[in-house]
Amino acid sequence: MNSHPLNRSSSNRSSSPSLVSFLALAAVALGTVVLPTYSAHAATPIELEVDASESARRILHARMTIPVAPGPLVLVYPKWIPGEHAPTGPVADVAGLVIRAGDEVLRWKRDETNMHQFRCEVPPGLQQIDVAFDFLSPPPATAGFTSGSSLTPRLAVVNWNEVLMYPQGAVARELQFHPKLKLPAGWKLGTALKQESNAGAQTTFALVSLEALIDSPVVCGQHFREVFIGTSDGPPHFIELAADSAEALVMSDTQKAKYDRLVAEAGALFGARPYDSYRFLLAASDQVAHFGLEHHQSSDNRVPERMLIDDKLRLSWATLLPHEFVHTWNGKFRRPADMVATDFHQPLKTNLLWVYEGLTQYLGLVLTARCGLWTPEEARDHWADIAQWATNQRGRASRSLEDTAVAAQLLYGARPDHAHRRRGTDFYDEGALVWLEVDVLLREQTAGRRSLDDFCRKFYGGQNGLPGVKPYTLDEIVATLNELSPFDWKTHLESRTGLASDKPPLAGVERGGWRLSYTKKPSEVQLAEEADGKVLDLSGSIGLSISDEGRIKDVVPGEPADRAGLAPAMKLVAVNSRRFSPETLRAAIAQTTEAGSKLELLVENGEFFSTHTVDYHGGERYPRLERTAGSADVLMEILKPRTKSP
């Protein structure tokens, strides 16, 4: 998964039956799960019909016919959603649930301790039931991480986990569904699912396992375009683009060439493709939640409407598609063993998210530069932003990186304020810094003969074609690194991830030939991210970030704004007795180097007002990387393309 860069904070259809059975039996032996009990007509698929014709009202209608046996039945609404790393199944948005056995409406009761389970009694002689409910997608103003807004009057992203239930005890890899989707008139769709037939507005898909169905969302819309990217050899790749306007579908030849090269660079990095086709599902709208979510043969990418046609937005969101593409190898084909489950109700252990997400973050940044979505200078400026963020992250002194991974299910939905004190989903960017150091160390120890590229080919390569799942452990990662260059990798990685430390993890940047420094002008990357996020990032000077309207987003502990008593949620009203604007605040900070200058801020805190004098005299300071004299430029070597320009 990925979200906006300022918020630093799946198909397994062909996975081996013996592997999944072994994992299930091992879990039972450890007393962690109960063996599946659902067997009634298991060979008969569940018929699923979803009606998206009321997407303008943000309502999806779902209807299922489920094979059953008489007696007690528990229906499960998916709870642990792949890629979200948390029990985020949006059951609170389910409305109008009705269960019928023939003409009889069955009484159902929610489990009192598990809100995602619904119990009923199937009458004698019945072999199937009908289940119907509506899914109510939240409007943009209220959409959060859970059940992010996905429907507008012009487009929709249909995630199947939101519109289905299944019998308790079913194995997701084995349970078959026969899905149908009805769209508003004139809409088109894109998905990794195989299409069986089309009749008017309704598309019928081929039989698919529950596991593969939830791993295969659909993007659809009135304004729709399919773009073939990549090369003519190997599996086909597409961008399936739906937008709220026809002009937002425009993709220049130059932009397409960069996505062509993304496909080529990923192939060069991993050496194999564990899919038979791949689709980047891209929803361009200002009315949906903006983030990315990985799937095995596709990815769910939601961006601002003008992302493809606005230079600043393209710059700000450049890493999204590369990040989600990397997840096909790291997170879907190969994933931590504790994150492999037999259904969507089994809790996951996420302590290795610094690999699952952190390594993906690193490789996504690398591929963004290699394919040309960023220039080398833009890529370097983004690393400068990460380095500054890491330097300002005070929560590290009492909380390890691994703990942020373990607590991911809490942190994804946590408030963003005080993130520099409490930590957030730091396993993304701090994880990227950990893996940058690993890459640099491999190159140092082998005089440039080995790198993390070699690790990727050994660890993630070797499988082409239909998706599968090959779990991994930390010991396997360490063993592969030792094959490339003998070293105490386990101690090294555990020291970087398992220990609290107030020292920022910048060894990879510094050994890569660069160091964090500051200039008086923000980089184009920072300006793009500020414009997209409607925020002013002054972390390098007075130590705060603030919205365009003056609402303080966060303060850096120990820095001038913090020492002056400012805090998140306060609203800045005036700067040196003049009404606040981003330009006014920047200008006032620039003038702090002058003799007799001051920085006096009037803030609103609920119903109260107060004046705060910020003791700061350093002028504007924005992060950049500066070359270390006499050192090898390893970082820029890492970012060089590995394929020829198309």
Across 477-543, the runs of DSSP E, i.e. the strands, are 514-519, 535-538
Distance CA 635, CA 432 (A): 13
Tell me the HSE value of 204 on the side-chain side, using a 13 A CA sphere. 8
Cα separations (Å) of 416 from 411, 413, 431, 441?
9, 9, 19, 34
CA 374 to chain CA centroid, nearest Å: 20
The 10s digit of each residue's pLDDT in 91-119 is 999 999 999 999 999 999 999 999 999 99
Cα separations (Å) of 122 from 113, 131, 174, 257, 418?
22, 12, 23, 57, 51
CATH of 36-220, picked from 2.60.40.3650, 1.10.150.130, 1.10.579.10, 2.40.50.1020, is 2.60.40.3650
Distance CA 191, CA 300 (A): 10
Give per-residue burial for 557-585: e unless 16+ CB within 10 Å, then b: bebbbbbbebebebbbebbeeeebebeeb
- Domain ranges in the chain are 36-220, 339-517+628-638, 541-620
Query: By three-state DSSP, how is residue 351 classified?
Result: coil
Distance CA 559, CA 567 (A): 12
Backbone φ/ψ region at 125: left (φ over 0), alpha (ψ -120 to 50), beta: left
Q: Let me know: does 397 contact 403? Beta carbons within 8 Å.
A: no
pLDDT band at 41 (very low <50, low <70, confident <90, very high): low
Q: Which of 592, 594, 599, 630 is nearest to 614 (CA)?
A: 599
The 10s digit of each residue's pLDDT in 518-537 is 999 999 999 999 999 999 99
Over residues 384-389, mean pLDDT: 98
Distance CA 630, CA 515 (A): 13
Query: By three-state DSSP, how is residue 493 classified?
Result: helix
Which pLDDT score, from 0 to 100, does residue 613 have?
98
Residue 196: phi, psi to the nearest 5? Answer: -95, -45
Distance CA 519, CA 535 (A): 19
pLDDT band at 4 (very low <50, low <70, confident <90, very high): low
Cα separations (Å) of 262 from 232, 320, 376, 644?
14, 12, 15, 12
Give the pTM.
Answer: 0.93
Residue 594, token pair as written in the block:
């002058």
Q: What is the CA radius of gyration of the chain?
A: 25
Q: Quick one: DSSP state of residue 342? A: S
Which pLDDT score, from 0 to 100, does residue 521 have?
97
pLDDT band at 463 (very low <50, low <70, confident <90, very high): confident
Over residues 266-281, mean pLDDT: 97
Q: Which of 346, 331, 359, 350 is nearest to 403 (CA)?
A: 350
Helix (H) and strand (E) counts in the chain: 20, 32
- Can you say whether the dihedral through the CA atoms of 558, 564, 570, 573 is positive or negative? negative
pLDDT band at 27 (very low <50, low <70, confident <90, very high): very low
The 10s digit of each residue's pLDDT in 303-339 is 999 999 999 999 999 999 999 999 999 999 999 999 9
| Residues 6 or more apart in contact with residue 302 via CB below 8 angstroms | 148, 150, 157, 282, 283, 285, 288, 289, 290, 291, 292
Superfamily covering domain 339-517+628-638: Neutral Protease Domain 2 (1.10.390.10)
DSSP string, 366-413: HHHHHTTSS-HHHHHHHHHHHHHHHHH-GGGGTS-HHHHHHTHHHHTT
Instruction: Say if residue 23's pLDDT is above 80.
Output: no
In terms of average pLDDT, the best of 38-47, 230-239, 622-631 is 622-631
Q: Which of 496, 523, 483 is nearest to 436 (CA)?
A: 496
Over residues 196-217, mean pLDDT: 96
Which pLDDT score, from 0 to 100, does residue 224 have?
98
pLDDT band at 645 (very low <50, low <70, confident <90, very high): confident
The 10s digit of each residue's pLDDT in 11-21 is 332 333 333 33
Query: By three-state DSSP, how is residue 97 classified?
Result: strand
Query: What fold is seen in the domain 541-620?
Result: Pdz3 Domain (2.30.42)
Q: Quick one: DSSP state of residue 330? A: B
Which pLDDT score, from 0 to 100, does residue 38 have?
60
Tell me the HSE value of 558 on the side-chain side, using a 13 A CA sphere. 8
Residue 39, token pair as written in the block:
């067997």
Which pLDDT score, from 0 to 100, does residue 141 have?
61
Residues written for the chain: 646
Lowest mean pLDDT among 149-153, 384-388, 443-447: 149-153
- Can you say whether the dihedral through the CA atoms of 146, 151, 155, 156 is positive or negative? positive
Cα separations (Å) of 254 from 240, 258, 368?
18, 7, 15
pLDDT band at 39 (very low <50, low <70, confident <90, very high): low
Residue 189, token pair as written in the block:
């769709």
DSSP string, 233-252: SSS-EEEEEEESSSGGG---
Distance CA 342, CA 364 (A): 29
Over residues 426-455, mean pLDDT: 98
Residues forming a β-bridge with 229: 237
